Chain A
Amino acid sequence: MNNSRIWSIVIFAAAVLIFGLSWIIIGSQAGHNLTDAFLVTVAAFLTLSILSFLYKDNPYYKFAEHLFVGVSAAYWMSVGFWSTFVGNLLPRISPSLCTYFGVPYKGFDIFFFIPLILGVFLLMRLSSKMGWLSRWSLAFIVGTTAGLNLIRYLRSDFISQVSNTFVPLVTDWRGIGPFFSDFSLSITGQFAMSLSNWVIFVGVFCGLIYFFFSKEHKGAFGYASRMGIWVLMITFGASFGYTVMGRVSLLVGRLTFLFHDWLGLVK
């Protein structure tokens, strides 16, 4: 027996011992039962299994990863069945099935056979001979999604966003005297508001110039273009900062679970 095999057995035995003990100890505490304790222990085991990937790839990580994928797929499918198939389709096509599943019948509607048929076509992908039928369903999905998105994105992401860029470069201007007498660095103050509007204006303007390729980026145009790339870099930096915050939050969440729910170290 080689060393790595011995180590694998030792680690497995230690994991079984630690998590087995954890189950018993948590289950024996007041306010817990063995089922709760088992669930908390399994969650702790899976959390640590995933985190173990930071050291290196290993069978515990693989197990947790595969379990996650499998459970997620099954969960989405079963929820989809109950909420859409039973919840939406059956009440329009079958009173007897509605009675069986305990959902209110809403009257027969022949149009609901269209999504039913398209849904069956999608499942035909499982068949090598009938797989081509799924393309009809996909074509329907792609076509309707593209059509609906085109209108919404054009209105909200283009027209409204362009409109949002038209901001007053000097907000609430009442003359030079009031500007200095009411001067404040507060984010809601006149100076800060005007400054932020200038940032929006200059940022959008220079960002657009950077993506304007019909003219050589030289002279004043070149400076504006360079300013545009600075704006983009700052945006990417802000995005990265937010991403870090998000990832740290998830780590805090898992460590809080381990320290609070599993080990009971913090209140």
Chain B
Amino acid sequence: MNKWGLIISLTIIAAGLLYLFIKSIRGRDVERRFIFLFMGLAVAVPILFNISFSEKATPIVKAAFDKIENLPPGSKILISFDYDPAMAPEVNPMTDAFVRHAMAKGHRVYFMNLWATGQPMVATAIDRIIKTEFPEKKNGVDYVNLGYKAGGTGVLNVIITDIRKMYLTDVNGINLDSLPIMNGIRSLRDMDLLISVGGGLPGVKEWVLFAGDPGHIPVVGGCAAVSAPLLYPYYPNQLMGLLGGIKGAAEYESELKRKYPRFAETPQPGIKMMGPQTMAHLVIMAFIIFGNISYFVLKSRGE
């Protein structure tokens, strides 16, 4: 970590907070644009100085990691990219980590999407992870991109009994029956693990409801932070593990790095993003405290 960067970040944040504190004890209003600017600085400075912190996997993230780790090599894992570019900064680190882990373990990976906007995300993940870090892996043998089909939960209702009723070809138009990776795959029930990464509808919850539970197939999830609290109740019986927001991604990356030291030099956007994230959270906590101080000051004055 850049020590000077941390000092400069903390100095800027401390100066801003001091200004806000003085305003709050005087019971003065603060211009909202100042709040935005301050938040921008609190996030930008740690990015510029590359500030990050160490992470340790919590049990729910460790459970997701162990589920993939403990499957025998060659297991069939389906990863569904159910998100759009707007959600990508938060969940891309998760899909990267899942793909990297599955490939390192020698699993067979089936990509698909319940969101049309997830299709290019799969293509970039294949380029970014598989083609650069695992050039020996072959399309159609070690992995396949099934692409997007419209219908949301309707798609799940169909492919839980027969994948080929919905998917006749892969995303490149190649007949599924001609791909070695599809040998012996009839439905989702032939998968050893389902992974859904998303944060909207359809997403992780729909995979639990419409695939995992009725098909008795283990499901692991990765979700945008907004939907994480709604998904925790499914753990550990209906959801084997969950990565909630960028924190979950960072924990998974740290576990991957611990177990596979060769990934220490690969990009770890989740861990990298936790530096600015931590600073921003400190600032927001201070905002809440100062807001309350200001409230009580005004109340004591009878305003």
Contact = CB atoms under 8 A, between A and B. Distances in A.
B209 A153 contact: yes
A222 to B, nearest CB: 26
B59 interface: yes
A58 interface: no
Contacts, number: 148
Contacts of A84: 149-151
Contacts of A160: 213, 237-238
B208 A156 contact: yes
Contacts of B73: none
Given A249-B245, A255-B47, A83 B116 contact: yes
Interface string B25-47: 00000000100100110011001
A211 interface: no
A103 B169 CA distance: 8
Contacts of B148: 79, 83
A155 interface: yes
A141 to B, nearest CB: 9
A242 B173 contact: no
A224 to B, nearest CB: 21
Given A83-B116, A152-B213, A55 B47 contact: no
B224 interface: yes
A137 interface: no
B228 interface: yes
A25 interface: no
Given A88-B166, A242-B229, A266 B47 contact: yes
B40 to A, nearest CB: 8
A196 B175 CA distance: 50
Which of the listed residues B58, B166, B225, B237 has the most CB atoms from chain A within 10 Å of its own CB? B225
A9 interface: no
Interface string A238-267: 110011111011111111100100000111
A187 B58 contact: yes
SS class, residues of chain B in contact with chain A: helix
B196 to A, nearest CB: 14
B187 interface: no
Contact of A246 (B50, B59, B151, B225): B225
Contacts of B168: 87-88, 91, 103-104, 106
A250 B86 contact: yes
A31 to B, nearest CB: 15
Given A91-B168, A148-B153, A256 B89 contact: yes
A259 B46 CA distance: 12
Interface string B142-181: 0000011111011001000000001111000101000000
Interface of B: 33, 36, 39-40, 43-44, 47-48, 50, 58-59, 86-90, 116-117, 119, 147-151, 153-154, 157, 166-169, 173, 175, 199, 208-210, 213-214, 224-226, 228-229, 233-234, 237-238, 244-247, 269, 273, 276-277, 280-281, 284
24 contacts: A79-B116, A79-B119, A79-B148, A83-B150, A84-B150, A87-B167, A103-B168, A152-B209, A163-B237, A164-B234, A164-B238, A188-B59, A238-B229, A239-B226, A242-B229, A248-B276, A249-B225, A249-B273, A250-B90, A252-B276, A253-B89, A253-B273, A255-B40, A255-B43
